[in-house]
Amino acid sequence: MAWTLLPRGSRPLEPGSAPSVSIQEGLSGLQAMKLRRVLLVLLLVGGFWYVTTHLPSSLDSQSLSHFSLFGVRGSSSPLELTEAQAAPVYDAEEQNNIAVYKRVLPSVVNITSTTLVFNFFYGTVPQQGQGSGFILDHAGHVLTNYHVVEGANRGIKVMLSNKHNYDAKVVGTDKVHDLALLQIDAPSLQPVTLADSADLSVGQKVYAIGNPFGLSGTMTRGIISSIRSIRGSEGAPIEDAIQTDAAINPGNSGGPLLNSRGEVIGINTMIASNGADQSSGIGFAIPINTAKAVLADLTRYGRVKRPSLGIVSYAIGPDLASQMGLAVDSGVLIQKVVPGGAAERAGLRGGNQQAYVGNTPIMLGGDLIVAIDGQEVSDPDSINALMDKHQAGDTISVTLYRGHKQMTIKLILGEARGTST
């Protein structure tokens, strides 16, 4: 049986019969479906192209991060920064802090000392120490601590705030007061201004500028916590030492302690750290007046000609004075006069009878000093404090008791030798 394909629409469908589809019609439907897919792809591509090329120029990358093709914003809110509209205005205290720092920083130096030491494994090796100091005059004199340059047998370098380095020579040292005077040859130096440390008050504001842990140009601030007598690293007394809570750390040694006007009132020298080797809020500075008393000798002689009475002495309190039958309750008993010293030349007398206070031998029978230049003295440290205000060759008045007789004797101070006062 032969089948004959009828042209489309050649005859109507009979009731109940299924429609017939020609091959041509099937192909046309398939092509239409493909065409719709192509149109959809073109629509998506065209939409993406439009979005990326025709958005307003004001829609930046920050806005795009919150934009989607479906108009949904991101879950996080946009970053909004608030910026200052003008430079900061410093209050009066901040302005003074800044002014002091700018004024004094060019006068503060970093000191590096090099010492050859013996190492068991490597033999002789160089070892460096660091500290601070400050410029005293245009001639290049620099004041620092003795322990900063002690043993520096391979040179001392001084670095200014402008980072220029200079070799330094030692003009003189005073181990007792832990002071050293150096000198450098450098142009355009800016000296500090020295204040009077005699009238300091607990509570007044102070600044410390130095190089703690090698961090050059560091300023810390605090107050004077106390003014007290302490003993330095060598055991010698430091009279009227300035105690401060301004942070002082290794590397600050030799740097200036300043008042609120930027004037030097002390030389930072040691800290009470309980073995931690860092600031615990208790630092000490040598009063600048003590340094003034020795600077003239250091520049003139290269050493300090410390004045001395030329005596070996012992402090007497009320209990001992009562037991010994002395005329007054306290004073400084002369144990011995140094041969050729100031006391012997003035006719002062030492003891002639040995006794013991506990296990300590003392000599009785000598003169009992109670005042110098009208100022009461009660122990050898108080005499040392008065000596710091004089020089060898000065004449002083010594008030003493010889037995029960009070006397005042003029005495020309000699130069300190050994352990005598």
* Catalytic positions, written as ranges: 147, 178, 253
How far lies 298's CA from each of 25, 171, 222, in Å?
A: 120, 7, 31
Closest by alpha carbon to 268, among 251, 281, 293? Answer: 251
- Other CB atoms within a 10 A radius of the CB of residue 381 amount to 18
Q: What is the spatial distance between Cα 314 and Cα 365, in angstroms, rounded to a whole number?
A: 12
Burial class (CB in 10 A: 0-12, 13-18, 19+), 378: middle
DSSP 8-state symbol, 75: S
CA torsion 202→207→210→214, rounded to 10°?
90
Q: Is the dihedral of CA 40, 46, 52, 54 positive or negative?
A: negative
Q: How many residues make up the chain in this entry?
A: 421
Confirm if 178 and 233 have CB atoms less than 8 A apart: yes
Please, where are the H alpha helices in 244-394? Answer: 288-301, 318-324, 342-346, 380-387
Q: Which run of H or E residues covers position 201?
A: none
Which pair of tokens denotes residue 250? Answer: 């290794």
Closest by alpha carbon to 192, among 172, 207, 175, 170? Answer: 207
